[in-house]
Structure 1
Amino acid sequence: MNTTMNEVYVILSTYNGERFLSEQLESILAQQSVSIRLYIRDDGSSDGTRAILASFAQSHAHIDVEYGDNIGVINSFFALLRKVPPDAEFVAFADQDDIWLPDKLIRAVDRLKDASKPVMYCSCYKAVDENGDFLWQSLPPEKEISFKNAIVQNITTGCTVVMNGSLLTALKIHQVNTKNLIMHDWWVYLVAVCFGQVIYDREPSMLYRQHGGNVVGAKNGFALWLGRIKRFFLYRKKNSRIAQAREFLERYKSDLSTEDSYLISAFLAYRQAGLLKRIRYAIEMPLYMQKKSDNLILKLQLILNSVH
């Protein structure tokens, strides 16, 4: 009987994460029924993070650590992706401050291992506070997962993402200008849903820690609505959905179906249209957000020419 375990490359970018890092690393190393190769890139930490990484690397031969300059989380993850061997079967994203459930990776592998097309696995999570106490559980998307959604919304939580080798290949085909990306996991979602499949596991695979130092944290209740108001009225991201969609079209245009090429081209073209055409596009557009309220906000943004 073949007892060889599937090998998963886990990539983790760290930055001043000394407070929770050891617990996260222990949970990764405790994964059941898979073989782990852990690639870590420290993005210029100034606290005790590098000492923690050095200690773990010294004790575990399958941990590879690179100590780099601060280039930001998106660039750091792409640097890690470039290091992953092209023949890797499975690649998982990790954050520095969460806790993985012991069966997180094997559940993903079981869903990915028979796929030949690009496939991304992601899951729900249990949000916990700084002490690891339960706060709430995330919910799966309400509507269909599709390219029509991915152009304007990211439904993935990056630290739950596991991809197969075919998706890794699709990501490495083109050199991406990361300055145009909102987040690395959104880019992976776009590629997966456009050229393959996204599997969304309703069962939580990890404890997603909420604290003041999160780069991107989850929100619930009043904080969720406050965040939406800020995004619409006050906050303009350096990288927008427009820039990201344009980057995707430029990189993958020759590979897109006629329908997908039209979807993303029409979304980009509305910026040059007059008010009446923008109103018509907003009313008839095939793109959608998962929640009705967010969909209405998107339509209003399209009309006001203020999508970000």
Structure 2
Amino acid sequence: MTGTPSSPSLAAQTFAGSYGAVALAAYEPDEAMFARQLLSIQAQTHKEFVCLISVDGNVERVQGIVKRTCGDDDRFRVLGYDNRLGFHHNFERALKEVPAEARWVALSDQDDYWYPQKLTKLLPYLDDSALVTCQARVVSAEISMTDPDPAKGELTDRKNVGAADLFANNQVTGSLCAFRREVLDLALPFPSLAAPSQYHDHWIALCAMAGKGVRIEDLVLQDYVQHGGNVVGESSQSLVGSIRNTFRFVRRYEGNASPRSICRIIYKTGLGWRTLMARTLLQRGQPAGQPFPADLTEALDVYAKPRTVRLVQLLAGGWRRRNVPMMRVLEILLGAVFRPWCR
């Protein structure tokens, strides 16, 4: 869904009071920030939900924090796992446990802070869209916990884009979004690639684009807390930072920093993850048997069987529209260059 969305339909607010699920992925959380986030979810003005907390190791500690914070509120359920899978598949574990009767799903990080009306304001937009994303105040943990004024701090700048630009540069941050439950019919199980670019929210966004679309609303409904433990965070891209991250990730995911390993991680991070998502979507098809939207079909065709000229054209268009930063364009095109080294 592109352009400027209209207000949610007043004729049928089918999602406004509906039952849903909040999927929260936890890993060695800071107790103060985690408890504060749990309380912000508990204080939502929309009360009809279950909060599924998937723990990526050290289950007993998280259970204790949840019990001390939420008391006997049986909406909060800890899913105990001792094996660590990483944030991508930890979210997947939580989403696999979403109850059949849930009509919507919202994703939550362990250390943000939701404003009380977040769900109440977001859910009505699902009447007309498969997924909706809000904006957030980007602040440090200290400021978030001491200065509640939403007007103070930088804001995220997510925006509505077409399928090709969403493929290249994700606009959907998981912790800011809510989506229809049927998106999971296409999204699960998650595609998997041993690379730092495999993001659950990017994949879910494209699955939503295959249905009733993605919309971004300029509603500031939470704090997006930045600290040293962020998996991704909200930061500007630079050439030096990208090179530093490449060497950090190549040792983690490839085991060494040989030239071939560096080529593999650059390919996976840029083009490889997008090719995997495109091929997975094409393989699964639409659950209802209907064709994908035309702009998504074009993007799927380009990324599933990458051809350099068409890829350059697609990325150049996104850059001209100011939806795809040059660093992302270079990252993907370098992946195309190094692709032969990955066979």
TM-score in terms of structure 2 length: 0.73
Residues of 2 paired with 1:97 and 1:162: CA distance?
Answer: 18
Amino acid paired to 1:288: G
Superposed displacement of residue 304, structure 1: 4.0
Deviations 1:136-166 (A, max 9, x none): 111233xx52210122221111101101133
The SS at the match of 1:205 is strand
Aligned ranges 1:44-55 → 2 under 5 Å: 44-45=57-58, 48-55=61-68
SS in 1 for 2:121: helix
Does 2:203 match 1:187?
A: yes
Equivalent of 2:56 in 43, 48, 51: 43
- RMSD over equivalenced CA pairs, Å: 3.1
Alignment of 1:187-266 (within 5 A): 187-220=203-236, 224-225=237-238, 229-230=242-243, 234=247, 238=253, 239-253=268-282, 254-255=285-286, 257=292, 260-266=296-302
Hey, what's the Cα distance between the residues in 2 that align with 1:195 and 1:235?
A: 37
Residues 152, 228 of structure 1: alpha-carbon distance in 2 compared, 3 angstrom cutoff: farther
In the superposition, relative to structure 1, how do residues 296 and 41 fare at CA in structure 2: closer, same or farther (>3 Å)?
closer
Is this contact kept in 2: 1:40–1:65, CA < 8 A?
Answer: yes
Contact kept, 8 Å, 1:42 with 1:50, in 2: the verdict is: no
Q: In 1, Cα distance between the equivalents of 2:169 and 2:105?
A: 23
Structure 1 CA distance, aligned partners of 2:59 and 2:20? 29
Structure 2 distance, partners of 1:81, 1:170, is: 12
The AA in structure 2 aligned to 1:12 is L
* Cα distance change of structure 1 residues 303 and 167 upon mapping to structure 2, 3 Å threshold: closer
Unaligned runs of 5+ in 1: none
CA displacement, residues 86-120 of structure 1 (integer Å, 9 cap, x when unaligned) = 331111000010110111111111211x23xx611
Which amino acid letter does the alignment assign opposite residue 265 of structure 1? D
Change beyond 3 A, Cα 1:251–1:304? closer
The residue number in structure 2 matching 1:30 is 43
Does the alignment pair 1:119 with 2:133?
no
For residues 180-233 of structure 1, the C-alpha deviation after alignment (integer angstroms, 9 at most, x for no partner) is: 67111111011111332111011211001111111121115xxx4367543787
Identical aligned residues as a percent: 20
Q: How many residues align?
A: 288
1:121 and 1:161 in contact (8 A); partners too: yes
* 1:299 to partner: Cα distance: 7.1
Q: 1:251 to 1:296 in 2, by over 3 A?
A: closer
User: Is 1:138 equivalent to 2:171 in the alignment?
Assistant: no
Aligned 8 A contact 1:282 1:302 in 2: no
| CA distance 1:99–1:226, shift in 2 (3 Å) | farther
Q: In 2 relative to 1, CA 232–264 (structure 1 residues): closer, same or farther, beyond 3 Å?
A: farther
1:14 Cα deviation after fit? 0.7
Q: With the length of structure 1 as denominator, give the TM-score of the two structures.
A: 0.80
- After TM superposition, give the deviation of residue 293 of structure 1 in Å: 3.2
Query: Aligned in 2, Cα 1:215/1:19: closer, same or farther, shift over 3 Å?
Result: farther
